[in-house]
Structure 1
Amino acid sequence: MAGRPRATGESAGDRDSRQDLLDAAAELFIEHGFTATSTRAVADRAGLRQASLYHYFNGKEDILAVLLEGTVRPSLHTAHALIETPVPPLAKLWALCRFDLALLCGGPHNLGVLYLRPEIQSPRFAGFHAERAELRDRYRRLVLDSGADELAADLVFGMVEGVVLTRQWKTIPDVESFASAGADAGVRIAGGTDVAAVREQARVIAHLWQ
């Protein structure tokens, strides 16, 4: 479906107006905070009329929820896909860490910092919290299946999500190398000693994490 007319009067044509609004909101929420950002400001940044925003979203909370869910849902889908793969748990853990880290540090906006916003405690974000908790549990199961303990599981998940703090003070120029190094670290935390062998095992399921 074609987007709504833009504030300039230009038709959106094939451009994805919904994605333009999400990108604009991400920039503003990170730059100025959620509370200080109005729907008019989001629409203006996207080059759309304010009324057009309500064609795609119910309001600011709706936009923020979609942004947050986008930082978790792809990794959760990958975690589900890994369950039945014919590789050892450590290889699955490596693949999940690798995918998740690339997602969190590879996008144009450091959306993970929004996890700390007090606004996301409202009921609108229950879905996001449920999916994040399920993803954490998937990490936990893989770590425990690898023979490590609950503490290691907490450390692996914390290490992965900690990339959002790294992005606050430095640019990550080589996302692929960074994500792979982080996955190596996750395997070591879970007790893996031959990381090179784990990486080779994960190549069997490369189509799931690349």
Structure 2
Amino acid sequence: MNTQRAHPGRPRLVPATTTATPHDQVLHAAARLFVTKGFAATSTREIAEKVGIRQASLYYHFAGKDEILAELLQRSVRPTVDKVEQIERLAASETHETALYVLASVDVHTLAEAPHNIGVLATLPDVTSSGAYDAFRSTRAELADAYGRLAAQVAGPGIADGPEPRHLGEMLMHLVEVVTSLRGIGVTIDHATADAIASTCLRACGISDDRIATAATSAARLVGRLPDMP
């Protein structure tokens, strides 16, 4: 009779009963390490150990650390970009202010739900200098264009004659990206906070408070019709 006992496996980051796939378990472990330790300081061995798999098994899911980072960066912006066309279509019968409010609300949701506050990765020097950042930069530019396109249609006097639409879009994106800073200090991004950020975006375009209130009411109805939104 074989009396050998199987060696116990490494403790897993996510219990075996979870619905998360091994692919997502690697992403979550990497996200936590990249945010707390930094991208350059984290090895694939550490990521594998966090998940509870062999380092060789990690390469079954990802070619390397850069590929993991690239997907994490996309998860902080791609969910919003993928909804832009639908937002513009849903808001076609509404005001342009409503469309911009919805876009900002969706973007806040994307950053608020991103695991381990991965939105902060895009601000780290060792990330922005990596090859993985290039695809993210392109996707982020798509989002800036969408913000700028909508903002140019609602901007008040003086603002409309100021920054180019793309630059105005970048400014609004920076307003929304305060979400990562708030999460970093432990602030919960609830509906009231999300509404305050979206309202600030419209206010920065010179929109009056009464028109912002109308846009907020319409946006609340439209947001619920978008996929993966509460």
TM-score scaled to structure 1, two decimals?
0.87
1:98-155 deviations in Å (ceiling 9; x for gaps): 1111221233411121112233334433221110011011001110011343365443
2:87 & 2:139 partners in 1: Cα distance? 16
Q: Does the CA contact (< 8 Å) of 1:7 and 1:49 recur in 2?
A: no
Q: 2:33 aligns with which of 25, 28, 50?
A: 28
Letter in 1 for 2:27: L
- Structure with larger Rg: 2
Deviation, structure 1 residue 9: 9.7
1:95 & 1:9 partners in 2: Cα distance? 42
C-alpha change, 1:55 and 1:109, in structure 2 (3 Å) is same
1:181 equivalent in structure 2 = 196
2:186 equivalent in structure 1 = 171
Deviation, structure 1 residue 157: 1.6
1:53 & 1:120 partners in 2: Cα distance? 24
Q: Does the CA contact (< 8 Å) of 1:102 and 1:175 recur in 2?
A: no
The alignment status of 1:155 with 2:163, answered yes or no, reads no
Q: Does the CA contact (< 8 Å) of 1:98 and 1:183 recur in 2?
A: yes
Segments of structure 2 that go 5 or more residues without pairing to the other structure are 1-7
Q: Does the CA contact (< 8 Å) of 1:22 and 1:63 recur in 2?
A: yes
Q: 2:68 aligns with which of 49, 63, 70?
A: 63
2:4 equivalent in structure 1 = none
The DSSP-based 3-state class of the residue aligned with 2:28 is helix
Q: 2:102 aligns with which of 79, 95, 100?
A: 95
C-alpha change, 1:172 and 1:9, in structure 2 (3 Å) is closer
Once the two structures are overlaid, the 10-residue window that deviates more, 83-92 or 93-102, is 83-92
The alignment status of 1:200 with 2:217, answered yes or no, reads yes
1:188 & 1:129 partners in 2: Cα distance? 27
Letter in 2 for 1:19: D
Q: Does the CA contact (< 8 Å) of 2:146 and 2:169 recur in 1?
A: no
1:3 equivalent in structure 2 = none
Q: Does the CA contact (< 8 Å) of 2:81 and 2:143 recur in 1?
A: yes
Aligned length: 204
1:161-196 deviations in Å (ceiling 9; x for gaps): 13222322x212242221121111111112221221
2:141 equivalent in structure 1 = 133
Cα RMSD (Å)? 2.4
1:109 equivalent in structure 2 = 116
